[in-house]
Structure 1
Amino acid sequence: MMIKAPIHFLNNRVFLSATVTVWYNRDADSIMPPPAATNLGHTPPDGGWGWAVVLGSFISIGFSYAFPKSLTIYFKEIQAYFSVSYSEIAWVSSVMLASMYAGGPVSSVLVNRFGSRPVVMVGGVMVCAGMVLASFGTTIIHLYLCVGVIGGLGLAFNLQPALAIIGTYFQVKRPLANGLAMTGSPVVLFTLAPLNQFLFDSFGWRGSFLILGAIVLNCCVAGALMRPVNKAIQPKPKLEAPPCDQEDPSANANAQSANLLTEESQSEGKKERCLDKFIDVSLFKHRGFLIYLIGNVVMFFGLFAPVVFLAPYARHQGVDEYSAAFLLSIFALVDMFVRPLTGFIGNTKWVRPRIQYFFSFAVVYNGVCHLLCPLAEGYSGLVVYTVFFGVAFGMLCALLFEVLMDLVGPKRFSTAVGLVTIIECGPVLLGPPMSGALVDKFGDYKYMYYACGVIMLVPGIFFFIMNYYNYKKLDEERRQSAGAEMRNSDEAVELKMNQIEKIAYETDG
């Protein structure tokens, strides 16, 4: 808020013309707290080179999520080669995903220190090195370390920066940009699945790992596209300093206030800023962040298992192996088109102000699909379920990180997503094995789908209730803030009038 109080002299009388100008945030109706939209230090260009950055994020995010899933094609031959059980070989993908999520905080620190571009390029080199080293593996432990740990950390260095940099380039069109970038996951999976089958038939798993190591170097190309945003473009409006020959009482007051800061308080502020570069512990006091974190931890226990067990469930129903595998292709194809469409819908003026409700609906929609899955009869019923599940999964994934950025703001997003991913590491690692244990115990997949449906439905309802509470509190805080600003403006105007009356009285005297 800015107070303008020009003085006008007319017929030896003093008149005060007070104009109160309120700076209103265009995103004030969104769930994002006001500081979250204004702490970037620049106005995002919402286009231009930002679309090249979206392309780089598309590639980087695509490899991060699709690469661990695509490696399952080689598991059967690797299992026979090392004479291990299926559960032992399945840990390769689980360790890779867990490492990708656990490496989130490390990636956050590196992004805050060096920016997105070098971190993504280093991540691409790490995944390449892990795949090349794994091709010379002699034990399954070797694959755990090379593919799982080294490759997983490399994917963490690809995922985190790609998500963070979009917030520096986009604000108005950010949901659309995030939706387009998240589409990389189904597109890359849809491409890698047949490619891996061709490589496997032609070169075996060792030769395929060497070639995949070269292919994943495209993440370095994606990183090269992620140049830092030019903060000189469309700078935020700043109040111009008054000329030196004019006296500015507010400037004098500000100078006097600044002189009151002691060296001790300044040093404490520096220490806090240094700590925030590594981990922003104040996020655990952020109401919206805590709501997102609690709901997501529960949700991730049931998020990936229905995808992992889709083809086995179809084969359990008597569907041939080729048709069962084709369900995954249908799922990826639907997911591919739903994600950008979700981003477009989320960017509309009707959805953007309350985008958290849209995300809550996507979570509930997933849960309902899983609860109804056992009712699907025959292959045609499974196809219908796959289509609806693809829509639900695509909606959720397109909004997953956008709603977090909307809550905490782009400036704090890098640290927030790092904290979220390391906490979600446990559910990601344990969710599919726990679901598989239900199948082993009951000998039927329907109980697993019932459990996943309930696990998704509970956080969906939680999100609806708590987001309503969060919106209500934010509205109250905005009204209180506006009222306090108006009271301060009234006091400032009254003080200015008293000063002018005093000057007028002395002049008349």
Structure 2
Amino acid sequence: MDVLANDSICEPPRLSLQGDDSDERTIATSPAPRSYGRSNSIRSLLEPTKAIDEGWSWVIVAASFVLSFMLYGVIGSFGVIYVPLTVLYSGQNESSDSCASTSDSTNGTRSVSGQTAWIGNTATLLIFSLGPFAAALSKRWGVRPVVLTGSIIFSTGIILTSLTNEMWQAFLTYGIVAGVGGSMIHSPGVGIVPTYFHKRKTLAVCITQVGGSIGTMAMSAGMGVIESKYGWRRACYFAGGISCLSIPASFLYRPRYVSETTEGNKTVKEIVIGAWKTQRHPRFALWVWLIGLHFFSLYVVVFHIYRHSECVLGISKYDSSFLLTYASAASVVVSIAVGYVSDHLQYRLPLLQLFILIGGIGNVFFPLYRTYADLVGFMILFGINMGYLAIMNVFPSDFVGVDEAVNAFSILSFTSSIFGTFGGPAAGWIFDATGSYNAAFVLSGILSICVSLLMSLDRCLIQVEEKRKDKEAKLTPIEGTL
């Protein structure tokens, strides 16, 4: 048995004596000195692992859990600092009434709601759209160094944001620097999880996504409390400090053999081109673009529910900061349930359609939510909708296979970013024009409902693929015949 297949990093080394394929004898050496044991432990962390559904696979899940907690928690809590940033960029004093100043055209200032939203959306765009490039870097040089570098860059960008006074400075630090760093964390660090699993693939992905939900829950509440008491700059310090958790987590990644043997000798350009070729699968191409459309609706809620609560309904900053917490709590419960159920389903897509449909219906009725209790109920419904994220990351490997899973996940990230990036600014522009978010939420809900219905086309593509295979089977000569 090969030493690389041994998941334990603390056991003494083993020697493998092999004759033919049916005869394999393993001889354990005598216990090594302690100094050698420590050296072997460190070296084993740098070696590829063959673990599937066991051993180091679950360590990878733990590392991805931490990365999701940090990344989704920080980016998902942008709405907390969005309101004070609109005050700052409107030319008002930071202690001014955040709701009265951002859209008041009578005092000589101009509304900057839509422009400010682009700061968070630029970060989101780069995190997801640079997925193919980040995945190529990880396949060329390994997941660990790429995620480690991205963690340092991301943390630096968030902390530097607290020092900014102009919009262009926040675009540079939060939008570009943090966005580039986040892209080097997301696709390699989160997208690689399904490649370590077969039987428990969905459960592993769900655990990772639960990390994102808990991160959003904790970070939105924590940043909201800090912002209300000490200001948005201290909230950025807090977010930057939490971001540093991804640095030690990055050292836990060990490469899979499949990535090193199939991609290790290719250039980054060749790997990126190979990632785009995953769209030659019709079912994957249809699914990935429809998911991208749904992300437009997703970011309307994430970036603007906080401001709608505070500025339109007059709910306090403290109470508003907990809205995403309720959504995240519901998402955690749903994700765990989905992880168990989905692993027992042969066809997962209807479950995904159901969650997207629930979210769309919730958005359509948004104008009816007038109280804080109404918003809490809406966010719980939104959290149930977010349960689809628990199974969304499983589909790339289902469609294109394990070998191309990271590439497919990076393409999913790219298309999601293209559509999702416009969700926040579009809602901001609608608010600037109408003074209300109702139209933005209703339109996003209608879009999600259409996405859910259009996913039914997947069954048609399955039938077309089966007919094609049957036709090819009939045209293929039987072995041994002319």
TM-score of the aligned structures, taking structure 1 as reference length: 0.72
Residue 329 (1) aligns with residue 321 (2): no
Corresponding residue of 1:236: none
For 1:113-124, list aligned pairs within 5 A. 113-124=140-151
Secondary structure class of the residue paired with 2:277: helix
Q: Report the CA distance shift for 1:472/1:101 in structure 2 as closer, same or farther (over 3 A).
A: same
| Aligned mate of 2:418, from 399, 417, 426 | 426
Q: Determine the C-alpha separation between the residues in 2 that align with 1:191 and 1:54.
A: 20
Note the alpha carbon deviations across 1:228-283, whole angstroms, 9 max, x for none: 2367xxxxxxxxxxxxxxxxxxxxxxxxxxxxxxxxxxxxxx99998642322432
Residue 283 (1) aligns with residue 283 (2): no
For 1:307-456, list aligned pairs within 5 A. 307-314=302-309, 316-317=312-313, 319=315, 321-348=317-344, 351=345, 353-376=346-369, 378-394=371-387, 396-456=388-448
Residue 65 (1) aligns with residue 72 (2): yes
- After superposing the two structures, state which structure 1 stretch, 400-409 or 62-71, moved more: 62-71
For 1:248-263, list aligned pairs within 5 A. none
| Equivalent residues of 1:58, 1:181 under 8 A apart | yes
Q: Determine the C-alpha separation between the residues in 2 that align with 1:323 and 1:189.
A: 16
Corresponding residue of 1:502: none
| Aligned mate of 1:45, from 52, 59, 83 | 52
| Equivalent residues of 2:217, 2:326 under 8 A apart | no
Q: Report the CA distance shift for 1:360/1:276 in structure 2 as closer, same or farther (over 3 A).
A: farther
- After superposing the two structures, state which structure 1 stretch, 425-434 or 146-155, moved more: 425-434
- Tell me how many residue pairs correspond in the alignment: 409
Q: Determine the C-alpha separation between the residues in 2 that align with 1:443 and 1:79.
A: 15
Question: Could you list the runs of 5+ residues in structure 2 that have no partner in the other structure?
Answer: 1-47, 92-101, 103-111, 259-263
Question: Amino acid of the residue matched to residue 388 of structure 1?
Answer: L
Q: Report the CA distance shift for 1:322/1:371 in structure 2 as closer, same or farther (over 3 A).
A: same
Q: Determine the C-alpha separation between the residues in 2 that align with 1:77 and 1:138.
A: 12
Q: Determine the C-alpha separation between the residues in 1 that align with 2:176 and 2:142.
A: 23
| Aligned mate of 1:298, from 274, 293, 305 | 293
| Equivalent residues of 2:150, 2:185 under 8 A apart | yes
- After superposing the two structures, state which structure 1 stretch, 96-105 or 134-143, moved more: 134-143
Shift of 1:346: 1.0
| Equivalent residues of 1:408, 1:416 under 8 A apart | yes
Q: Determine the C-alpha separation between the residues in 2 that align with 1:74 and 1:219.
A: 22
Q: Report the CA distance shift for 1:478/1:357 in structure 2 as closer, same or farther (over 3 A).
A: farther
Shift of 1:489: 3.7
For 1:165-204, list aligned pairs within 5 A. 165-197=192-224, 199-200=226-227, 204=231
Q: Determine the C-alpha separation between the residues in 2 that align with 1:43 and 1:167.
A: 14
| Equivalent residues of 2:149, 2:181 under 8 A apart | yes
Secondary structure class of the residue paired with 1:354: coil
Note the alpha carbon deviations across 1:3-28, whole angstroms, 9 max, x for none: xxxxxxxxxxxxxxxxxxxxxxxxxx
| Equivalent residues of 2:140, 2:266 under 8 A apart | no
| Equivalent residues of 1:69, 1:93 under 8 A apart | no
Greater radius of gyration (CA): 1
Question: Could you list the runs of 5+ residues in structure 1 that have no partner in the other structure?
Answer: 1-40, 232-269, 496-509
Shift of 1:122: 0.9
CA RMSD of superposed structures (Å): 3.2
Q: Report the CA distance shift for 1:303/1:77 in structure 2 as closer, same or farther (over 3 A).
A: closer
Shift of 1:354: 0.7
Secondary structure class of the residue paired with 2:77: helix
| Aligned mate of 2:459, from 465, 468, 490 | 468
- After superposing the two structures, state which structure 1 stretch, 73-82 or 380-389, moved more: 73-82
Q: Determine the C-alpha separation between the residues in 1 that align with 2:248 and 2:49.
A: 26
Q: Determine the C-alpha separation between the residues in 1 that align with 2:421 and 2:61.
A: 29
Q: Report the CA distance shift for 1:139/1:409 in structure 2 as closer, same or farther (over 3 A).
A: same
Identity of aligned residues (%): 21
Q: Determine the C-alpha separation between the residues in 2 that align with 1:210 and 1:324.
A: 21
Question: Amino acid of the residue matched to residue 366 of structure 1?
Answer: G
| Equivalent residues of 1:120, 1:223 under 8 A apart | yes
Q: Determine the C-alpha separation between the residues in 2 that align with 1:156 and 1:488.
A: 49
Corresponding residue of 1:162: 189
Shift of 1:482: 6.0
Secondary structure class of the residue paired with 1:304: helix
Q: Report the CA distance shift for 1:478/1:166 in structure 2 as closer, same or farther (over 3 A).
A: farther
Shift of 1:177: 0.8
Q: Report the CA distance shift for 1:175/1:331 in structure 2 as closer, same or farther (over 3 A).
A: same
